C-alpha cells in the first residue's frame, strides 16, 4: 500500500461524494471533490430532520463534512466537458482549467421532480400548494407566510413518481416515508390540524418505517386515503380544494385544505446524464445512470475507471447512499490496484 | 393565486396561429342556439378587421356530434371531414377554422389518427373518391374560431367602444371562462394555454378589461356530456354537473360566463332555468341568473354592436344586468324584434328565474 | 315543474363537513382502531360477510366517511364469533371494537 498517487475526480459533494472522498483519502488516494454549489452537503444540507428517528440532518452531515476537510474541494465549479483518454479522463472545469484523473466517481445525486409539471396540482399557481422541499425549508427557517396555523393539511404522494405520463415510471422510494415524517412534524407543530395523506400504495420498506407509520396512525391520528389526487383548485378564501377518490370505499372525496404538500419525486440529475454521455456511459431505462449490473455491481459503470455512488443510479436512502459511497471507494481501490 | 405561474404555463402552450386566409366552417347547432354569433364572427374578422375568410354553402356537418353520440362510426365521420378538406382544397385554402369546439376536436383527432395510421387515411381517401369523386390536401393549420378572436383580441381592444368594467365603480367585470372539453383536453398542445389553465378566453377577457375568476370546478364539464343529455334517462347527470359548477362559482359572484363551445353556453344558460325551477335557487344578483355569452357575442358587445342584433334575446338568462353594469345601451322595446323588425314573439317567463 | 329528470344525488364524500364524531369517540376508547390498514383480512374471514355484507374494514371506513346507516346495518349482522380478531395483522381486537362501537350512538355518546 505505497506510492498511491492516482487522482480520482469525485463529481458532487453531497453525502455520497463526501463519504467516498473520505474513504478514498483513508485508502491513500488523492480525491478531488468537484461541487457546483457554493457549499457541500447537497440535498441533505437543505433537509431539517431525517426519517425514521427524526435525526437532525446536520448530525449526519457534520461528521461527513469534518472528515472531508483536508480533501481538495472545488466549490462553485461547473464541469464544461469530460474527455475519455486512453485509460484516463480529462475533466475541463468551468474556469478553463483541466483535471487529469485515473478514475471518475459520479456522486451527482438526484433532482427533485419539477412539481409544476403536474399542472393539475397547481404548484406555482395556487399559493397554498408547496413541495416537500419547501416544507423542509420551513422547518429550517420557520419563514413562509403560506404556513400559518393550518387547520387542514394534505400530502400528495407520488408527484412525478410512478407516473408514465410524466416520464417517470419508477418509484422514488423515499417519499412515502418522508410524507409520514413530515405529516408527523406538522401534527407536532399544529396538533389541532387534520392531516391527510393521499397515497397509491404505501411503500414502507426500510428499517423501522412501518413502526413510524403505525405511530402516524395511532399516536397522531393522521388520515390515510388510498387514492391519487386528481386535481386542485382554489377556493375564494385562498384555501385549496382537493379532489381524489377514496378507492377503498369507491367514492370520490373532496376536501378543503389550508396547505397541500406535494411529495415531489426523484429524477436523475440532468448534469450527470450529460457528463455520462460524453464518456460513453449509458443511461438506464429509468433515466438514471446504468450500472454494470443492478445486483452485484451497482457502483460500477460499464466503462473502466467510471464509478457510481448514491442517487445517480436511482432513488436511495441516506444509509444506502453512504454504504454505496464506501463500496464505490473500495471498487475504485481494487480497480487502481489491479492497474498498478 | 400566483398570476406569473399561469403566465409561465401559457408560454409553454402558445400556438403559432397564421394571421390570414382562412376557410371557415360553421357549426350545425350554433346558428339555432346563438343565431348571430357566427355572423358576427364573419363581420368582425372579415368586414371590420379585413381578413380573408372564405365560406362555402356546400359545407355540411363534420359528423362530430353523431360520432360523440355513438350514432356513426369514426370512419364515417372521417369521410365527412375528408369532404370538407376537399372543399377547402378546391377553394385554394390551407388554413381551416372551425366554429364548433367538437368540430375542432374531431378534425384534430382525425388528423392525429391519420398521422399514426397512414393506411387509414389512404382508405378514407378511397371512400371519399368512391362516394363523391373528390380529392383533398390536408390543412396545414386548424384553428378554432376562438383562437382567431384570441389572436385579434388586441385589435378588437383598440377598436372597443366598451370595456369590461362597471360603469358605476370602474371595477372590472368578473368573468367565469368556460372552455369546451374537446378544445384541449384531448390534445393540450392544440389549445392556447393548454388544458389545465387555458388562456384562449381569459386572454380576451383580460384584454378587454375584465377580471377572470378561477373557481374550484373551473375545469369541470358544462354538463352537456352528449349522452348525459341526449339520453333522457341520463339527463339528471347533465343538470347535476352544471349545478356542481354553479355551486362552486357562486361565492365568487360572477357577472357573466364566456364560453367557446356550442354546447356549454347552451347548457350553462338553460340549466339555470331548470335548476331554479327544481331547487328555487338562482345564481345572479336579485333573482337573476348569470348571463352566458359566446366569445363572438362578447367581442360584439365590446365593439358596440346592438345586443339584440347579437341575438342576446334568445338566451334564457337575460343579459340586461350585465349590459347595465357595463353601461351598454339597449332598447327594451326592440328585444323581441328579429331581423328586419320581424316580431319573434315574447316567450313566457319562468316562475323562479328572473329574466327581466 | 316535472322535467322528467332531477338533480342526481352525489356519491362524493365531502371531508370538510363529514361527521366523524362516532369514529372519534371510538378511537378514544379503542385507539388500536386507528392502525387499520384496510387489508380486508377481517372481512375475508368473516362468517357473516358473504351473506350479509358485514365487514369490519368497511365499518371503520364508513365511520370516517359519514356512512352511519351502512355501519349500523353491518354491525347488526355480526355474530361476535371473534374470528376477525384472529387474523388482523395489526393485532386490533376487532371483536372488542365492535362491542364498543355498539355502545356509541351516532353522536359518539356512550348510550349503553
Which residues of chain C are within 8 Å of residue B242 when distances are taken between CB atoms? none
> Cα–Cα distance between B348 and B329 in angstroms, integer?
24
| Nearest CA-CA distance, residue A39 and chain B, Å | 29
- pLDDT at site B341: 87
Which residues of chain A are within 8 Å of residue C39 when distances are taken between CB atoms? none
What tens digit of pLDDT does each residue of B296-333 get?
999 999 999 999 999 999 999 999 999 999 999 999 99
What tens digit of pLDDT does each residue of A208-239 get?
999 999 999 999 999 999 999 999 999 999 99
Contact C61 A221 (CB under 8 A): no
E runs forming strands in A42-151: 49-50, 55-56, 72-74, 79-84, 89-93, 98-101, 103-106, 110-112, 129-131
Q: Which helix (H) or strand (E) holds A183?
A: helix A175-189
What tens digit of pLDDT does each residue of A284-328 get?
999 999 999 999 999 999 999 999 999 999 999 999 999 999 999
Average pLDDT value over all residues in chain A: 96
Which residues of chain A are within 8 Å of residue B215 when distances are taken between CB atoms? 233-234, 236
Number of other residues whose CB lies within 10 A of the CB of residue B339: 9
Segments of chain B scoring below 70 in pLDDT: none
Three cell numbers, residue B62: 363534420
What tens digit of pLDDT does each residue of A80-137 get?
999 999 889 999 999 999 999 999 999 999 999 999 999 999 999 999 999 999 999 9
ipTM of the predicted structure?
0.95
Within its chain, how far is the Cα of B239 from the centroid?
19
- The shortest CB-CB distance from B1 to any of A119, A125, A231 is to A125
Report how many helices (DSSP H) and strands (DSSP E) chain B contains, helices first.
Answer: 16, 8
pLDDT score of C14 more than 70 = yes
- pLDDT at site A2: 43
CB pairs under 8 A between A and C: 48
pLDDT score of A4 more than 80 = no
Residue B248, SS3 per DSSP: helix
CB of A88 less than 8 A from some CB of B: no
What tens digit of pLDDT does each residue of A6-16 get?
999 999 999 99
Which residues of chain B are within 8 Å of residue A230 when distances are taken between CB atoms? none
Q: Judge contact between A194 and A152, C-beta under 8 A.
A: yes
Amino acid at each position: 500500500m505505497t506510492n498511491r498517487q492516482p487522482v480520482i475526480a469525485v463529481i458532487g459533494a453531497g453525502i455520497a461524494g463526501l463519504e467516498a472522498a473520505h474513504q478514498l483519502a483513508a485508502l491513500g488516494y488523492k480525491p478531488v471533490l468537484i461541487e457546483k454549489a457554493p457549499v457541500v452537503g447537497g440535498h441533505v444540507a437543505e433537509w431539517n430532520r431525517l426519517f425514521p428517528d427524526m435525526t437532525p440532518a446536520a448530525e449526519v452531515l457534520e461528521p461527513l463534512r469534518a472528515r472531508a476537510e483536508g480533501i481538495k474541494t472545488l466549490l462553485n465549479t461547473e464541469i464544461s466537458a469530460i474527455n475519455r483518454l486512453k485509460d484516463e479522463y480529462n475533466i475541463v472545469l468551468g474556469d478553463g482549467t483541466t483535471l487529469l484523473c485515473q478514475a471518475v466517481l459520479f456522486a451527482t445525486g438526484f433532482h427533485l421532480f419539477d412539481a409544476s409539471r403536474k399542472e393539475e396540482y397547481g404548484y406555482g399557481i395556487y399559493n397554498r400548494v408547496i413541495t416537500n422541499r419547501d416544507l423542509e425549508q420551513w422547518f429550517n427557517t420557520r419563514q413562509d407566510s403560506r404556513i400559518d396555523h393550518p387547520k387542514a393539511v394534505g400530502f400528495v404522494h407520488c408527484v412525478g413518481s410512478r407516473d408514465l405520463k410524466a416520464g417517470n415510471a419508477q418509484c422514488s422510494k423515499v417519499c412515502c416515508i418522508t410524507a409520514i415524517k413530515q405529516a408527523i412534524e406538522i401534527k407536532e407543530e399544529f396538533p389541532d390540524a387534520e392531516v391527510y395523506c393521499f397515497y397509491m400504495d404505501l411503500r414502507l420498506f426500510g428499517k423501522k418505517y412501518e413502526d413510524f407509520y403505525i405511530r402516524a396512525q395511532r399516536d397522531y391520528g393522521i388520515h390515510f386515503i388510498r387514492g391519487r389526487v386528481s386535481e386542485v383548485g382554489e377556493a375564494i378564501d385562498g384555501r385549496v380544494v382537493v379532489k381524489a377518490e377514496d378507492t377503498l370505499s369507491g367514492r370520490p372525496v373532496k376536501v378543503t385544505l389550508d396547505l397541500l404538500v406535494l411529495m415531489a419525486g426523484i429524477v436523475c440529475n440532468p448534469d450527470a446524464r450529460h457528463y455520462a454521455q460524453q464518456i460513453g456511459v449509458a443511461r438506464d431505462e429509468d433515466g438514471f445512470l446504468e450500472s454494470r449490473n443492478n445486483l452485484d455491481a451497482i457502483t460500477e459503470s460499464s466503462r473502466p475507471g467510471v464509478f457510481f455512488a448514491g442517487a445517480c443510479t436511482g432513488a436511495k436512502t441516506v444509509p444506502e447512499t453512504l454504504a454505496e459511497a464506501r463500496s464505490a471507494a473500495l471498487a475504485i481501490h481494487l480497480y487502481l490496484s489491479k492497474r498498478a | 393565486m400566483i398570476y406569473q405561474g399561469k403566465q409561465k404555463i401559457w408560454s409553454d402552450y402558445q400556438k403559432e396561429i397564421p394571421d390570414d386566409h382562412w376557410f371557415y366552417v360553421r357549426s350545425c347547432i350554433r346558428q339555432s342556439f346563438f343565431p348571430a354569433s357566427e355572423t358576427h364572427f364573419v363581420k368582425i374578422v372579415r368586414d371590420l378587421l379585413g381578413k380573408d375568410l372564405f365560406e362555402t354553402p356546400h359545407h355540411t356537418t363534420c359528423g362530430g356530434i353523431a360520432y360523440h353520440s355513438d350514432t356513426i362510426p369514426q370512419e364515417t365521420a372521417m369521410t365527412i371531414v375528408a369532404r370538407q378538406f376537399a372543399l377547402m382544397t378546391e377553394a385554394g385554402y390551407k388554413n381551416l377554422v372551425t366554429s364548433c369546439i367538437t368540430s375542432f376536436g374531431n378534425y384534430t383527432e382525425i388528423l392525429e389518427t391519420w398521422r399514426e395510421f397512414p393506411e387509414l387515411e389512404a382508405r378514407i381517401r378511397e371512400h371519399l373518391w368512391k362516394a363523391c369523386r373528390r380529392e383533398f390536401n390536408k390543412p396545414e393549420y386548424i384553428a378554432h374560431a376562438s383562437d382567431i378572436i384570441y389572436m385579434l383580441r388586441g385589435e378588437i381592444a383598440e377598436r372597443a367602444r366598451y370595456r369590461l368594467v362597471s360603469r358605476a365603480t370602474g371595477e372590472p367585470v368578473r368573468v367565469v371562462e368556460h372552455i369546451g372539453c374537446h378544445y384541449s383536453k384531448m390534445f393540450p398542445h392544440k389549445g392556447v394555454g393548454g388544458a389545465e389553465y387555458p388562456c384562449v378566453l381569459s386572454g380576451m377577457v383580460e384584454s378587454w378589461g375584465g377580471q377572470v375568476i378561477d373557481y374550484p370546478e373551473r375545469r369541470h364539464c358544462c354538463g352537456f356530456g352528449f349522452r348525459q343529455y341526449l339520453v333522457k334517462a341520463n339527463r339528471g347527470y347533465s343538470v347535476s354537473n352544471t349545478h356542481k359548477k354553479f355551486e362552486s362559482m357562486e361565492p365568487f359572484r360572477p357577472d357573466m360566463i364566456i364560453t367557446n363551445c356550442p354546447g356549454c353556453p347552451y347548457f350553462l344558460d338553460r340549466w339555470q332555468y331548470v335548476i331554479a325551477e327544481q331547487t328555487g335557487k338562482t345564481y345572479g344578483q336579485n333573482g337573476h341568473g348569470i348571463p352566458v355569452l359566446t366569445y363572438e357575442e362578447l367581442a360584439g358587445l365590446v365593439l358596440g354592436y346592438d345586443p339584440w342584433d347579437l341575438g342576446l334575446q334568445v338566451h334564457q338568462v337575460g343579459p340586461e344586468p350585465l349590459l347595465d353594469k357595463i353601461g351598454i345601451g339597449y332598447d327594451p322595446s326592440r328585444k323581441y324584434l328579429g331581423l328586419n323588425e320581424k316580431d319573434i314573439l315574447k316567450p313566457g317567463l319562468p316562475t323562479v328565474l328572473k329574466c327581466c | 315543474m316535472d322535467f322528467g329528470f332531477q338533480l342526481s344525488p352525489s356519491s362524493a364524500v365531502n371531508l370538510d363537513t363529514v361527521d366523524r364524531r362516532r369514529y372519534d369517540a371510538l378511537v378514544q376508547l379503542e385507539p388500536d382502531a386507528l392502525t387499520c390498514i384496510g387489508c380486508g383480512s377481517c372481512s375475508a374471514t368473516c362468517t357473516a360477510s358473504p351473506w350479509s355484507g358485514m365487514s369490519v374494514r368497511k365499518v371503520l371506513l364508513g365511520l370516517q366517511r359519514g356512512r352511519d346507516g351502512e355501519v349500523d346495518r353491518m354491525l347488526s349482522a355480526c355474530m361476535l364469533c371473534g374470528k376477525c380478531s384472529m387474523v388482523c395483522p395489526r393485532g386490533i381486537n376487532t371483536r372488542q371494537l365492535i362491542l364498543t362501537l355498539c355502545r356509541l350512538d351516532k353522536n359518539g355518546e356512550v348510550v349503553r
